[in-house]
Every structure is written in structure tokens, then in C-alpha cells.
Structure 1
């Protein structure tokens, strides 16, 4: 999308967030569900196909533009981002990086129209440790397809997704590294696919996660992403870079919302005959929060520009996600402190901000796993003389 058109779209989106999505947050929280009419509006706006090429019905956004959209959407309740971000940041990225022409032609138009996708990597016994993956895909003896068995856990959008990208073990051993994992495009209405009840969570009402159970699920040969075994993990990791940028952008947008709320509250709340915004230690918390959000915004601009230039951004995407998610945690903690006793009450937004933000430091790679990943890349670069 050209810059002028995108700027107009972003301006309209920011207005939609403030005038439509934020006023509906109480209903989303009460019902633990985004209203159907809002989901329909989001599909009509093209949010489910932001990065799908225009020739296939999408908006064709680059990564810089996509991150700006995520940040704008994340000023409202996190559920609004969750319902479309898997489509755009992970499923579509995997199709783009590893899909065959036939898979792109089949799935890109559906995603652009609003088919909801999910991403099946994590399992009860494995997350970042792909060597422990237990889900299997074995060749179908009656044809050229595959039979999948296993369980995936904590899968965002699973309860209402129409399609899943499932990582499964196609070889017993993990040599060469991660070559035992392949990726499969699995429609959720395929016989043998079922989901558990949505998990009850600490926060992020309206965003649903659940297990996916695969019981002798037969898929055709064309379901194998890229048409080759042993490349699924690489495709997954490449798409996780986009997912981590999405979480970083979401953390940054939500931190901005929390800070704006704290500024408003600090100017309205009176103590000792004046607004608490006049107190220097309140000002310190506000200024520290603004400074950290600014730093995250600068990181976002840098890493997305690198992606759009075609650079390897594994380390940079991980660093942005780590900093932004940890930053958001610090900001919402300060916001609760600024609200004081009111910050501990569900009646006020600060309590919800605190609960909602906690997951950002966990999914798409915990802070600790990503710190290890960053360090490994640093050491490899040192050894290579980079």
C-alpha cells in the first residue's frame, strides 16, 4: 500500500479504535467475546488480510505498516488484536515464506476475506523445545496424504478458527537439527480435529485459547507446507519473528493506553488540595513510562525497517519483543501505583491493564528463551568474526 493511502487508513483506524472499539470494551469483558458485528466490521476493513498480497485480495502492507496497525489496534482491549494477528503475523507469514503457489492461491484469498487462523506449535510437553514434540504425522498407507495424531496447547483462536498450521514430527530423530518437524495446513472441520473448552485466563477477556486434539486426522499430500518434509520448524521460526514483532507492537500500544489513563487520573485525583500530577514522584513515574514507550517505538521502527529491507532480524525481533513486553509490564505496574488504592479495584482500568499485560512477556517466546536466543546469535557472530 502506498504511503499516502496507508496514512489515511491508519488515521481512520485510530478513530475507529477510539470511537467504536474502546466504548465496546465493557461488553467484550462482560461477555468474554468480541461482538459479532465488530468482527464483521474488522473483516470488512481488511484487517484479517493486511499482509496478503493485493493480487489475492489483501492490503499488501509491508512489515512497518503492519506493526503500526497492530500498535494502533492495541490501544484498545487486547482481544481485538488477537483475533486477526495470528492470520497476519504468523499463518500468512508461513504461507508467504514456505507455501507452494497452489497453497498461496488457495489460502490467501480465504484469509483476506476473514477466515480465522491459528498456529499449532506448543504442546503439553513442549514449547520452545522442538526436540520434545510429540505430535506425529505419518504417511497415509492408503494414499499420498498424512495421518496426524497429537495435542496442541495454549492455541490462540483455536475455539473458533477455520484453519490451523500444525507442526508435527515426520521423522523420529532431530538430525539435522529440527529436520524432524514439518508443517501442515489443516482445516479445523477435518474429521478427527477437536478443541477443548476455552481456558480461563488471568486477563485478555474476549481472546480465546484452547487445546487442539488430533485423532487420526487424514490430510491430503498438498496439506504439507511447501510440499517438503523437514522444513516446518524453519517456516515456523520465520513466522515467529513476525509474531514477536506483533507482540512488541501490541505491548507498545497498550503501554501508551495505560499511560494516557494514568495521566488523566493523576490530573483528576486530588490529594492535599491539589492534583497528584503536581507531585514530583508521580511525575517521575509518568516520565519514566513515556521514555520507555518512546524507546520501544524507536526499536519498532528500526526492526520493521530491517525486515522490509530483507535483513535477517531474528535477533532484532527477539530484542524488540523482550524490551517492549517487559517495558509494558513496568508501565502498567507504575500505572497501578499512580492510581493508588483505586488501582487494585476492578472498577478502574488500571487493574485490567495490569492483568492483560502479563502475557506479553510469555507468549511468542518467553523473555528468558529470547534472551538465550539473542545471546546465541551474538556468540555465533563473534565466532564468525562478524
Structure 2
């Protein structure tokens, strides 16, 4: 009987190659990126050079055409050594999926080749008064001749200021709520676009999170990537595909912490023997491994559903994000416990991995919101 749950050879080869790259060219800078709160430029350069910066971009637009599972593997392996760096491919996918789903070929030819070459793409949905309640957003877009004028601001925007392009969801008619929203691509260089100071964050410190301001930004109609009034639907469809990347990030962080904890447990001597020989430590590591593998299988299944655009994708994407991020928080905390005092200081990366993992429970919809999404889309069995 064939093992349908085992990765095909080409995916295993991808994992091996990305892991080697991450350990050689990203891991050495991870601690400095965190401590200095700076964008991981070394990781960006390595990812661009090796076709991993936005591997999901279709080949006809200059990318590698990586499917959803391959994108998950890339993000997972980068996150294993540096959470902040894994947000580069993750956010590039998040920002560009609205274009891939809603844009026409001319629009895709305009922006996707530039993304594949290293110009980032961020996603602008959340606002200060519209977080979990995304339908309450106030950023306004109005008709202006043959085009549009955009005013307002977006909050909690990942890699804002670093990315060149932004998928922006704006409200054209507040009385219509979700039916009044439309999606656009805004460029960093557009007059009227500016950015706030980077947030001072607990984790993911190498990935800047800023407000984005729009002050009478003039947009031609060829910047519109959804039908008028269909921006909210496009935003929600995007999240169905990209929550899986957050699950991948969480799995990578957990795997990295588990690897450190396992190695430490074999090397650390107490009472004349490695602490791995104590059943209390064995049970912790066994639970960590079990939960990582469970989340990984669910996430890979969700990735396949994303690639095939299956009807139960909404449930599986929310479930994978929720399970994997809760798992990552527990695994990274337990990894700190295995290391004891050494886990609490920055001599080892597990405390950074724990801080980074916390955000996976929050962005792209808190895990409480994910449970609401799941309850509304329960599978039939």
C-alpha cells in the first residue's frame, strides 16, 4: 500500500535544499535581526537569488510556479531558523493573491514579474477600528473622473515600507458594508502614500509593522483588481489561501525549537547522565513531536485543498492556522522549559522562537476568529 501521507520526492528535495540554504545564509543573522529590530536584508537577498522570494508567482509571469504545498515548505523551512525572514515569502504571497485571484492578465504582467525579481507585495485590510471586524473599515475610495481617489489609513501592515506594492481594500459606500468595498493595487511611490514608525513588537522584530497612510492618492481604474463592490469577498477568499502560510510558519518555529530542545537534552548532563534519560523530559519531547506532526499533516492537507480550490478550503485553512499556531506556542514554551534557565536567555534561540510564535495566534485572524470561521463551515465528514 502506497503511503499517501508521505511527501513526493520533489517536495522532499525542495525541503532539503531550502533547509540547507536557510541554515547557511539566514540562520547566522537571525539573532542580530531580532536584537536590532532590522529587516533581514541578508535573507531577502538569499531568497531572491534562489528563486524563493515569491516562488508562488506563475512561470508565465517570471516566477517559479510553486504550488501551495511547495510554498508551505519554503515558509516552514525559513521559519525554522528565523520567523522574521519567513514573513518575506509569506507576505509576498498574501499581498499578491488578491491580484492572482481578481486581476486580469495585463495587471498580472504589470506587477508579478517585478514581485518575482524582489519587489515586495503587502496586504492592507486591517485598520485601527477594523481588526477582527474587517467589515467596519473606513478607508475611503471615491470616483474621480475615469479613476479613483483613496483616503484613509491601514494598521498592522506587515513589511510596510519595505514592500513596493500593496493590495488595499477600501470602502466606496459605507451603507452597503461589505458590498461597498473594492480592491486596488497601490504602489509605494504613488503621491500621497506614507508610512508610520515601525511598531515596537514582542516578536517578529525583523519584520516591520507600520501604519500606511493614503492622502488623496489618485488611482487610475487599471489599479482596480476586483469588481466594484467585490473587494471584501476577494479579501476573504485571499485569507482562505494564505492562512495556510501562517500555519507553515508556526510549524517551522515549533520544529526549530524542538530541534534545539532535543539536542540540548542529549548534551546536558545532570545527576551524572543526559537529561534526555529522565522520563519527564522524554514525555515533553514526545508530546512536542506528536503535536508538530499532527499540525504538519493538517497543514499539508489544507495546502492541497488550496491548490485545488476545494469547497471545504475555508474550514481547513482556518483549522490548520489555529491548530498549528496554538501548537507552536505550546512547543516553544516547552522547549524553554527543557532548557531551563538557558532557555530564558538569548544564548539559545528558543526564547525568540516563543516570542515569534505568539504572533501566529493573532494575525490573519485571531484563533478565536478562526474558531468562528470553522463553526460556520463545518465539514460534512
Please give the TM-score of this superposition, normalised by the length of structure 2. 0.93
Corresponding position of 1:91: 95
1:1-386 alignment, distance < 5 Å: 7-88=12-93, 90-140=94-144, 143-174=145-176, 178-226=178-226, 228-312=227-311, 313-378=313-378
CA contact (8 A) 2:25 2:42 kept: no
Give 1:300 deviation, angstroms. 1.6
3-state SS of 1:254 partner: helix
Most deviating of 33-42 and 196-205? 33-42
3-state SS of 2:364 partner: coil
CA contact (8 A) 1:48 1:115 kept: no
Cα 1:352/1:233, change in 2 over 3 Å: same
CA contact (8 A) 2:258 2:288 kept: yes
Deviations along 1:12-38, whole A, 9 cap, x unmatched?
Answer: 221111122112223323432245344
Give 1:214 deviation, angstroms. 0.9
3-state SS of 2:161 partner: helix
Give 1:68 deviation, angstroms. 1.3
CA contact (8 A) 1:159 1:198 kept: no
Most deviating of 45-54 and 356-365? 45-54
Give 1:163 deviation, angstroms. 0.9
CA contact (8 A) 1:51 1:92 kept: no
Deviations along 1:148-197, whole A, 9 cap, x unmatched?
Answer: 1111111001021111111100112236xx11111110001111110001
Deviations along 1:43-70, whole A, 9 cap, x unmatched?
Answer: 1212233111111110011111111111
CA contact (8 A) 2:128 2:155 kept: yes
Q: Which runs of 5+ in 2 are unaligned?
A: 1-7
Q: How many equivalent residue pairs?
A: 373
For 2:43 and 2:70, how far apart are their aligned partners in 1? 22
Q: CA RMSD of the aligned region, Å?
A: 1.7
Give 1:6 deviation, angstroms. 5.6
CA contact (8 A) 2:90 2:246 kept: no
For 2:216 and 2:268, how far apart are their aligned partners in 1? 60
For 2:36 and 2:232, how far apart are their aligned partners in 1? 36
Give 1:78 deviation, angstroms. 0.9
CA contact (8 A) 1:74 1:81 kept: yes
3-state SS of 2:253 partner: helix
